[in-house]
Amino acid sequence: MKKKILVPLSVFLLGICLAGLLVWKTDIHEKEQRRTTAQLNATTYGERIKNEITNGIEITDALKQILISEDGEINHFDTIAENLMSDSVESVQIAPDGIVTDIYPAEGNEAGKIDLFHDKDRSKISCYARDNHTLITQGPFELKQSSYGFAVRNPIYLKNANGQEYFWGFTIVILRVPDIFSNSIEALSNFGYEYRLSKKDAPWSDDYKVVYQSDGQMTAPVSYEFTIGGEKWRFEVTPKSGWRNDCLIATVSGIFMAVTLLLSGLTRVWLVSKENKNKFQILAHTDSLTKINNRYGFDELAEKMMDKNPKMHFVAGLLDIDDFKFINDIYGHVYGDKALKSLADSMKDFFPPDTLLGRNGGDEFCILLRNCTCEEAEEQLQQFTKLPKTFSCKGKEYQFYISLGYAEYPTFASNRSQLLRCADAALYEIKLHGKNGCMAYRKGLQSGVRKQLGFALKDISEHLPGAFIIYRADKEDDELFYANNEFLHMAGYKNVDELFQITKKSFRNLIREDERQQIESSIWKQIDDGNENAYIHFQLRKADGSYLSVLDHGRIVESRQYGRVFYVLFMDWEDMHIRYSDKFSG
């Protein structure tokens, strides 16, 4: 009788002890796994945030190079600043001798023209930047136009006639928070993390000031520290559900309380733990859009491949989509993403299975070919560059093109990062010479800021002497693509968005209703008769619903990206009669 009681009791007590031990071990293991994964994400996204902020800071470097090359002079500041602007930039400024004299955009930023060295909130840190030859950031502070931002001040030093260095002033950019790093924090939030980004309040201070953080509570966060200029930044993350997996603990406890489920319970815990670990490792190394390696995953695998085979020849290629911003502007970011997916899929289909593929971010991709030289890889890379690439939009296929630069290890580089810089220099050279090509690195090539190259459509069209639009040359689908400021002013539209909204992006909705059929027939009759330079007189619908008598001069052309389009220049009919009455009367 005692045996029947003592043995079951002993087994029960032993089971409780074993269950308690296993639950305790499982809790510690799960916490360690979560902290390891969280640290990996903090490092990955902290580095991405650093790069995104650094990209914003590069605007001050671009202005700095212009000022140094022009001996402290800068012409056409507004035009240069406009080309440097992006969605996350509030304003661009220059401050000779520490006094802000030029701001773009000027409207709404008049109060920013201050003397930095005599302003109570800015003088100390501005003097520090000047005296220590270091870039500094200040903020966050509330913006009048929108939410919050922080200022980046980059000191400039020139040399006088005697070769002595002197302080010229600052180039400044105001970056919006969280716009400058919104992609990173959105991705991290989707992964189930709370986050906090802080920076030292001042270079001489040990106190950190929060730049931006999520709404949830931060409990024992892991952190990643990085430096921008001479300033320390800290990025902290913690799981939204906390470090302890209470659900898992309860499950394991229940399983081990029942001796018959001991084995299955242990197996489940091990499988769940392994699955979670693999899942987060894959997420940390894979680009969520294209399903190939992200920059972190590519760099890590490339480093391992090259370290394991130090004498093997490798070819690294960097490529991006030509005029990708134009694809996003015309078709929207959804179809821009489709172009990125299409490019990634074509890379996976074209290159051998042992090729390492990655997406650096944006529209830039990277390739690492093993056991080959530039000469051996040339034909393959040239063929891939010329391979037709398309994306689908509203049932139609549109072509896009790429530029690709490549370099060889160890011929031109001693490590992975140097190899990619050489490939980047070759890609930069392609961009300088018209894009849509493939080039190997050679000595003498230098990398640069590619996003500032060339002429954008806006650069050209906004300086045309007349009102100008572009729309699709299709009888059924006359979609409006673009209108310059002179057209918007002439027709009374506040901006392109209002034009698109009122006209539903259709050219025929700009024509007075009772003239539409006649005008459209006239346009296409001229085209069908072989006249590509059509002149049409009609009543143009203005934003307020009134009409303006205009003469349009249209030309139909073939665009390799958008098919047939109309380029149309508008002239005020009445104004033409007033200005050229003698010619009309004759």
pLDDT score for 283: 66
Q: Which of 228, 257, 282 is the last residue of a domain?
A: 282
Domain-located, residue 4: yes
272: Cα separation from own chain's centroid: 35
Please tell me whether residues 564 and 513 are part of one structural domain: yes
Distance of alpha carbon 223 from alpha carbon 39, whole angstroms = 7
306 CB burial (10 A radius; 0-12, 13-18, 19+): buried
* pLDDT band per the 50, 70, 90 thresholds, residue 423: very high
For residue range 241-271, what is the model confidence (pLDDT) as tens digits? 888 877 877 787 788 667 565 655 555 555 5
Own/partner contacts of 420-424, CB < 8 Å, gap of 24 or more, are: 420/316, 420/318, 420/366, 421/447, 422/316, 423/316, 423/317, 423/318, 423/366, 424/318
pLDDT score for 267: 59
Distance of alpha carbon 169 from alpha carbon 101, whole angstroms = 11
What is the mean predicted confidence (pLDDT) over 202-220? 88
DSSP 363-378: TEEEEEEES--HHHHH
**What share of the chain has pLDDT > 90, as a percent?**
44
484 CB burial (10 A radius; 0-12, 13-18, 19+): buried
What is the mean predicted confidence (pLDDT) over 72-94? 90
Question: For the domain that residue 364 is a member of, what is the CATH number?
Answer: 3.30.70.270
Is the pLDDT at 292 greater than 80, yes or no?
yes
Is the pLDDT at 188 greater than 70, yes or no?
yes
pLDDT score for 331: 82
pLDDT score for 559: 67
Instruction: Find, among 426, 417, 418, the residue nearest to 444 by Cα.
Output: 426
Is the pLDDT at 293 greater than 70, yes or no?
yes
Distance of alpha carbon 101 from alpha carbon 94, whole angstroms = 6
Distance of alpha carbon 172 from alpha carbon 278, whole angstroms = 44
> CA-CA distances (angstroms) from residue 343 to 79, 179, 494?
33, 27, 37
Is the pLDDT at 451 greater than 60, yes or no?
no
What is the mean predicted confidence (pLDDT) over 446-470? 59
pLDDT score for 102: 93
Please tell me whether residues 254 and 173 are part of one structural domain: yes
Tokens found for residue 135: 């870039």
pLDDT score for 579: 66
Could you tell me the residue range of the domain that residue 337 belongs to?
A: 293-452
pLDDT score for 575: 77
Whether the bond into 155 is cis, omega within 30 of 0: no
362 CB burial (10 A radius; 0-12, 13-18, 19+): middle
Domain-located, residue 288: no
pLDDT score for 375: 93
Domain-located, residue 384: yes
pLDDT score for 274: 56
Distance of alpha carbon 432 from alpha carbon 409, whole angstroms = 24
Output DSSP code: residue 464.
S
pLDDT score for 197: 92
pLDDT score for 8: 76
What is the mean predicted confidence (pLDDT) over 55-77? 89
Using only C-alpha atoms, what is the Rg of the chain?
Answer: 31
Is the pLDDT at 20 greater than 60, yes or no?
yes
Is the pLDDT at 557 greater than 70, yes or no?
yes
**What share of the chain has pLDDT > 70, as a percent?**
88
Please tell me whether residues 420 and 542 are part of one structural domain: no
Distance of alpha carbon 558 from alpha carbon 88, whole angstroms = 34
The answer to whether the predicted template modeling score (pTM) of the entire model surpasses 0.85 is no
pLDDT score for 145: 63
* pLDDT band per the 50, 70, 90 thresholds, residue 302: very high
Please tell me whether residues 85 and 111 are part of one structural domain: yes
Please tell me whether residues 301 and 225 are part of one structural domain: no
Please tell me whether residues 333 and 422 are part of one structural domain: yes
pLDDT score for 585: 47
pLDDT score for 449: 43
Please tell me whether residues 299 and 239 are part of one structural domain: no
449 CB burial (10 A radius; 0-12, 13-18, 19+): middle
Enumerate the β-bridge partners of residue 569.
Answer: 468, 553
What is the mean predicted confidence (pLDDT) over 333-346? 93
Distance of alpha carbon 405 from alpha carbon 98, whole angstroms = 41
Please tell me whether residues 173 and 46 are part of one structural domain: yes
Tokens found for residue 159: 């040399």
Is the pLDDT at 298 greater than 90, yes or no?
yes
pLDDT score for 11: 80
List strand residue ranges (DSSP E) for 160-230, in order: 165-177, 193-200, 208-213, 222-228
Least confident of 8-12, 123-127, 542-546: 8-12
187 CB burial (10 A radius; 0-12, 13-18, 19+): middle
Tokens found for residue 341: 């997916």
Domains held by the chain: number: 3
Instruction: Find, among 429, 303, 289, the residue nearest to 368 by Cα.
Output: 303
pLDDT score for 154: 94
Question: For the domain that residue 254 is a member of, what is the CATH number?
Answer: 3.30.450.20
Least confident of 139-148, 369-378, 472-481: 139-148
What is the mean predicted confidence (pLDDT) over 377-397? 91
Least confident of 164-178, 275-289, 306-320: 275-289
Domain-located, residue 287: no
Please tell me whether residues 130 and 277 are part of one structural domain: yes
Q: What is the mean pLDDT of the chain?
A: 85
Output DSSP code: residue 203.
T
Order of strands, sheet of 547-559, starting from the edge strand that comes earlier in the sequence: 480-483, 467-472, 563-572, 547-559, 533-541
* pLDDT band per the 50, 70, 90 thresholds, residue 461: low
Please tell me whether residues 47 and 104 are part of one structural domain: yes
Is the pLDDT at 50 greater than 60, yes or no?
yes
Distance of alpha carbon 55 from alpha carbon 418, whole angstroms = 20
| 253 contact partners, CB below 8 Å, separation of at least 6 | 19, 23
* pLDDT band per the 50, 70, 90 thresholds, residue 382: very high
Is the pLDDT at 456 greater than 50, yes or no?
no
Sort residue 169 into left (φ over 0), alpha (ψ -120 to 50) or beta: left
What is the CB-side half-sphere exposure of residue 46 using CA atoms within 13 A? 24
Is the pLDDT at 356 greater than 90, yes or no?
yes
What is the mean predicted confidence (pLDDT) over 349-375? 94
Please tell me whether residues 140 and 219 are part of one structural domain: yes
Please tell me whether residues 171 and 253 are part of one structural domain: yes
Q: Which of 282, 311, 346 is the last residue of a domain?
A: 282
Least confident of 5-14, 353-362, 490-499: 5-14
pLDDT score for 128: 92
Is the pLDDT at 367 greater than 90, yes or no?
yes
DSSP 95-162: EETTB--EEES-TT-GGG--BGGG-TTTHHHHHHHHHHT--EEEEEEE-SSSSEEEEEEEEEEEE-TT
* pLDDT band per the 50, 70, 90 thresholds, residue 562: low
Distance of alpha carbon 488 from alpha carbon 479, whole angstroms = 17
pLDDT score for 436: 85
Least confident of 99-103, 132-136, 378-382, 522-526: 522-526
Q: Which of 262, 282, 302 is the last residue of a domain?
A: 282
pLDDT score for 259: 58
Instruction: Find, among 318, 349, 541, 331, the residue nearest to 440 by Cα.
Output: 318
What is the CB-side half-sphere exposure of residue 573 using CA atoms within 13 A? 12
pLDDT score for 221: 93
Enumerate the β-bridge partners of residue 103.
Answer: 93
